[in-house]
Amino acid sequence: MTGQDWLEKDFYASLGVSKDADAAAIKKAYRKLARQYHPDQNAGDAKAESRFKEIGEAYAVLSDPEQRRQYDAVRAMGGGARFAAGPGGAGSAGGFEDLFGGMFGGGGGTRTTPFPGANTSTGGGFEDILGGLFGGGRGPAGFRGARAQQGADINATTTLSFRSAVEGATVSLDVEGRNVTTRIPAGVRDGQKIRLRGKGRPGTGGAPAGDLNITVKVTPHPVYTVDGTNLRMTLPVTFDEAALGATIDVPTLDGQTVRVKVPAGTPSGRTLRVKGRGVKTAKATGDLLVTVNVVVPQKLDTAARKAVEAFAKATADEGRNVRADLLARAQE
């Protein structure tokens, strides 16, 4: 985008807002128009595509406080209008002299006094003049950069259930008036960020659009947790199942069950592995890791108490002290 473009294009009119509109009003107007003219909603409509680019170009300038200030200054200097050709003829280009001659008393579009900052050796182009006005040889900061400027990135958040995160899901997001649909891959973790190239704000001057960065929030599950591509769960077992061994039906995330053998003498905290029942991704399939938790009864009736006492008496003769080396290890 050139300096002449800023003089000719009324970005406020493009968004349908007043010149004193605040940032919130500008953003609201942009979102409404972007939704209306987005190419996804107007496939094959060249006019809608052109209007969408015009809206994006206007928003890119007006949403940036510094660029907006510079734009307003340039428009105020040039009167906000396209200047017609001077007396030199209807076919003349209406260049620099026509633009500023009347403003500084040149009359008839002719300027006899060099404008401060103008590069008279090369014809004193529009950017050269602005350079003198704004204290630089290339016009105000960002003025030339507005010719082609990549669109800004946008941050968004989506929340998935635990099951959807494990299995993968398709989500739709409202992004500044646009509907963006994307596939979330299986095995996504809580807090993981996904980048969608070119789905951010549109660029100006033919520059590419920015990216859309999606942060995924995953709601916790009452039974399972994720460990890489593995699923973890805690399996409650009774004392007799752990001591004597047992085969137990264990639920899996897909709604089925799998039979898991708990070997005799399994202690609380031991983890058993069930192959292939974890997270299935494009690259690998994880396992289900089952951690045994021996549940101790909170209350015993008379018969149960006598049975436990009999067990204690029966095993006492073995001379086993489960805490025999605890003191020695604690002093290491």
Highest mean pLDDT among 59-63, 143-147, 164-168: 164-168
Q: Both 119 and 27 in a single domain?
A: yes
Return the percent helix, strand and coil in the chain, to nearest 5.
35, 20, 45
Residue 34: closest CA among 26, 69, 145? 26
Q: Both 133 and 33 in a single domain?
A: yes
Q: pLDDT for 278-300, tens place per residue?
A: 999 888 999 999 999 999 988 99
Q: Name residue 105's amino acid.
A: G
Q: Both 16 and 109 in a single domain?
A: yes
DSSP string, 152-189: PPEEEEEEE-HHHHHH-EEEEEEETTEEEEEEEPTTPP
Q: Both 135 and 27 in a single domain?
A: yes
- Of the chain, the percentage scoring pLDDT greater than 90 comes to 46
pLDDT at 130 > cutoff 70: no
Contact 63, 41 (CB under 8 A): no
Task: For residues 200 and 208, give the distance between their C-alpha atoms in angstroms, rounded to a whole number.
Answer: 9
Q: Which of 181, 200, 218 is the last residue of a domain?
A: 218
Q: pLDDT for 94-114, tens place per residue?
A: 444 444 444 444 444 444 333
Asked if the structure places residue 286 within a domain, the reply is yes
DSSP helix/strand/coil, 71: helix
Q: Both 71 and 162 in a single domain?
A: no
Q: Both 268 and 207 in a single domain?
A: no
Q: Both 118 and 27 in a single domain?
A: yes
Which long-range contacts link 242-245 to residues 24+ away (Cβ below 8 Å)? 242/266, 242/267, 242/268, 242/292, 242/294
Asked if the structure places residue 14 within a domain, the reply is yes
Q: Both 118 and 229 in a single domain?
A: no
Asked if the structure places residue 306 within a domain, the reply is no
CATH of the domain at 287: 2.60.260.20
> What is the band of 135 on the pLDDT scale with cuts at 50, 70, 90?
very low
Q: Both 207 and 259 in a single domain?
A: no
Asked if the structure places residue 13 within a domain, the reply is yes
Q: How many domains does the chain have?
A: 3
Task: For residues 279 and 187, give the distance between their C-alpha atoms in angstroms, rounded to a whole number.
Answer: 6
Q: pLDDT for 33-64, tens place per residue?
A: 988 888 778 888 888 888 888 888 888 889 98
Q: Both 231 and 112 in a single domain?
A: no
Q: Which of 89, 122, 147 is the last residue of a domain?
A: 147
Question: 83 is in which domain, residue-wise?
Answer: 3-147
Residue 250's Cβ-count burial label (10 Å; 0-12, 13-18, 19+) is: middle
Q: Both 64 and 123 in a single domain?
A: yes
Query: Which of the two residues, 54 and 1, has the higher pLDDT score?
Result: 54
Q: Both 230 and 263 in a single domain?
A: yes
Task: For residues 109 and 96, give the distance between their C-alpha atoms in angstroms, rounded to a whole number.
Answer: 9
Would you state the pLDDT for residue 318?
A: 60
Would you state the pLDDT for residue 91?
A: 40
DSSP helix/strand/coil, 78: helix
Contact 96, 78 (CB under 8 A): no
Q: Quote the mean pLDDT of the chain.
A: 80
Strand partners, 170: 183
Q: Which of 89, 121, 147 is the last residue of a domain?
A: 147
What is the rounded (10 degree) CA torsion for 186, 191, 195, 199? 100
Q: pLDDT for 200-223, tens place per residue?
A: 998 888 889 999 999 999 999 999
Contact 128, 119 (CB under 8 A): yes
Asked if the structure places residue 272 within a domain, the reply is yes
CATH of the domain at 80: 1.10.287.110
Residue 246's Cβ-count burial label (10 Å; 0-12, 13-18, 19+) is: middle
Residue 270: closest CA among 221, 237, 304, 318? 237
